[in-house]
Amino acid sequence: MIRSASGLFTLAVMSADGDMEQLSPPLEQDEFVAFVNAYGPQEVKRVSKLDVAFEKQLKNRGGDKP
């Protein structure tokens, strides 16, 4: 990760011959975080039946708050 004087972020990697290869254009912080999170293989989030039931229960209770 490289941060420029203007406050922009760039993702870079050092190649075997010593050159720096930029993997992203200069981005604002939020855009950079989104780019890095989307970069590479994505993990599949495992969700159990209990998680699904709990989420459903939370959504159903959403209107009951005082």
The pLDDT, as a whole number, for residue 35 is 93
Is 61 or 27 the better-scoring residue by pLDDT?
Answer: 27
Q: Find out whether 55 and 62 touch, Cβ atoms under 8 Å.
A: no
pLDDT in tens, 4-18: 999 999 999 998 898
Count Cβ neighbours within 10 Å for each residue of 9-29 and write b for 16 or more, e otherwise: bbbeeeeeeeeeeeebeebee
**pTM for the structure as a whole:** 0.57
* Res. 66: pLDDT tops 80: no
DSSP 53: H
